[in-house]
Amino acid sequence: MDHLESRRKKLRRLLKKNHLPALLISTEENVTYLTGFTGDSTYLLFTSEEEILLSDARYTEQISQEAPGMKAEIRGTGETLSDILQRLLETLKLNELGVEGANLSIATFNALQKKCEGVELLPQEGLVEELRQIKDKTEIAIIRAAVEVAERAFGVVRAGLRPEQTEKEVADIIEYQVRLFGGSCTSFPPIVAAGPQSALPHATPTSMKLGESPFILFDWGARVDGYCSDMTRMVFTDRVPKKMEKIYKIVLEAHEKAVAAIKPGIDTDEVDHIARKHITDAGFGEAFGHSLGHGIGLQIHEGPTLSKRRSQELKPGMIVTVEPGIYLPGSCGVRIEDDILVTRKGHENLTSLPKSFESAFV
């Protein structure tokens, strides 16, 4: 539990820096990050001296197990969150309260404002998320495990591919294998995209059979203890067109250049530029329409973002995906993705699956 207390101390420093006496945390992942509690419908009232979970009777025992020693206010029958909060704010003599503006609905915000008269609600953005960007040792170890589970699941699926299988069937098998190897579920619905479907960056698996095309794009990840992994590989089941080989090698070179550049102090837009320039110089700039990568953790997409539209300094402890791609509608698409940990001296690639052109053949 020391890691949880360390996170809470860092948040208290942020509240002091932002002159906030208290913060109501409503994002489920943020509640989990600070307390260890994994249930839903639960808020955390966080002050300079107090941490109080606001929940209901379904979670009384779970709170005692997952967040031992944490104070909890359990809603009674007919009692609302606003009722509990009003009572606590009066007891703690708070007249200002930060709320997570990006998460709290307008209806809930208005209900709280109406109930808690005399208390100014101050919308905040990204306070806990700022802390979550830099993973501690506990988080890094869990994400390593999530990468390993995803890789093992993919190894089984790859070895068992058959022409008569559909994209949907294979996606379901990935989910099953992730669970067999210890994951709670996949990080997101797996993408299995054969032939022209691979040109859709977020393709939904269909009834198309794998035997209808010699190439398949796989994008998947595993969730372990709440944390995500995320990776993409191409698989070739037969000889592929020369165009596919060409764009594969361009994407791989862009990927490797971007990964090699990752280190503390480099800006996220610079890393994106390195990969994007390589693809653009090769004549496919317009075919790479998404950001280079994103942070992973309790959510599959979190900060920082490797993008030409955002500039943020990379710091040790951040874990980001690097996933350049080239997509040719109606023809084919290639994406290669690894999970990269920023270290004190550079980076560590947490993903160990081979990615050379030759290794894509089964």
Q: What is the pLDDT of residue 176?
A: 98
Question: Residue 36 gets which letter from DSSP?
Answer: -
Q: Is the pLDDT of residue 99 over 90?
A: yes
Residues 147 and 114 in one domain: no
131, 163, 190: which is the final residue of a domain? 131
Residues 315 and 282 in one domain: yes
The boundaries of the domain holding residue 23 are 2-131
The rounded percent of the chain whose pLDDT value lies above 70 is 100
pLDDT-based confidence at residue 226 (cuts at 50, 70, 90): very high
Residues 282 and 247 in one domain: yes
Residues 158 and 230 in one domain: yes
pLDDT-based confidence at residue 1 (cuts at 50, 70, 90): low
pLDDT-based confidence at residue 258 (cuts at 50, 70, 90): very high
Residues 123 and 25 in one domain: yes
Residues 157 and 295 in one domain: yes
Residues 144 and 288 in one domain: yes
Q: How many domains does the chain divide into?
A: 2
Q: Domain holding 74: CATH number?
A: 3.40.350.10
Q: Tell me how far apart the alpha carbons of residues 202 and 193 are, in angstroms, rounded to a whole number.
A: 9
pLDDT in tens, 62-89: 999 999 999 999 998 888 888 999 999 9
Q: How far is CA 58 from each of CA 42, 62, 63, 142, rounded to the nearest angstrom?
A: 11, 8, 10, 27
84, 108, 131: which is the final residue of a domain? 131
pLDDT in tens, 168-194: 999 999 999 999 999 999 999 999 999
Which candidate, 332, 336, 321, 213, places its Cα nearest to that of 272? 321
For the segment 213-234, the average pLDDT, to the nearest whole number, is: 98
Q: What's the burial of 43, exposed, middle or buried (CB within 10 Å: 0-12/13-18/19+)?
A: buried
Looking at every residue in the chain, the average pLDDT score rounds to 96
Residues 124 and 196 in one domain: no
Q: Is the pLDDT of residue 139 over 80?
A: yes
Q: What is the pLDDT of residue 78?
A: 84
Q: What is the pLDDT of residue 189?
A: 98
Residues 22 and 63 in one domain: yes
99, 131, 163: which is the final residue of a domain? 131
Q: Domain holding 291: CATH number?
A: 3.90.230.10
For the segment 120-137, the average pLDDT, to the nearest whole number, is: 97
